[in-house]
Amino acid sequence: MANKEIAGKTVDVNADGYLNNPSQWDKDVAIEIAKEEGIELSNKHYEVIEFLRKTHESGETLTIRKVGKSGITDIKGFYELFPGGPLKISSKIAGIPKPSSCV
C-alpha cells in the first residue's frame, strides 16, 4: 500500500497504481489517471467507467466480453476507447481493482 497524490487528493494505491479504495475515486482522479495512460476522457469513456464501477460494486466479475454486451460499446469500440489492454486500463481509471483472471 502506498499513498499517492492525484488531482490534489491523497489516495491509496497498490504497486501497479490501482486504487485500493474505490470510494476515494472521483472524476478529477479519473482525468488524472487517464492522462498518465495517454487518454483524454470523452462522454463514452465516462459511460464505460460508470458501468465498470456499478458492476464491480454489485460483486460481479468484469470481463471484456461483459463490457461488449453492456450496450454502451462493443468489444472493438472498447479497444478503441482504451487501446492496449482495455479492461486493465479502464479499471485503473475507474478506480476499481486490477482485473484478475482466476483460472
Q: Are 39 and 88 in contact (CB under 8 A)?
A: no
CB of 66 to another protein, least distance (A): 6
Query: What sign does the dihedral 101-54-64-34 (CA atoms) show?
Result: negative
End-to-end CA distance of the chain: 25
All cell numbers assigned to 86: 482495455
Question: What character string, x for contact with another protein (CB under 8 A) and - otherwise, covers 19-58?
Answer: ----------------------------------------
CB of 62 to another protein, least distance (A): 11
CB of 59 to another protein, least distance (A): 9
Question: What character string, x for contact with another protein (CB under 8 A) and - otherwise, covers 56-95?
Answer: ----xx-xxxx--x-----xx-xx---xxx--x-------
Q: Are 1 and 14 in contact (CB under 8 A)?
A: yes
Active site residues per annotation = 102
Output 10 or 102, the one with its CB closest to another protein. 102
All cell numbers assigned to 56: 464491480
Tell me how far apart the alpha carbons of residues 49 and 11 are, in angstroms, rounded to a whole number.
18
Residues forming contacts to another protein in the complex (CB under 8 A) are 60-61, 63-66, 69, 75-76, 78-79, 83-85, 88, 100-103
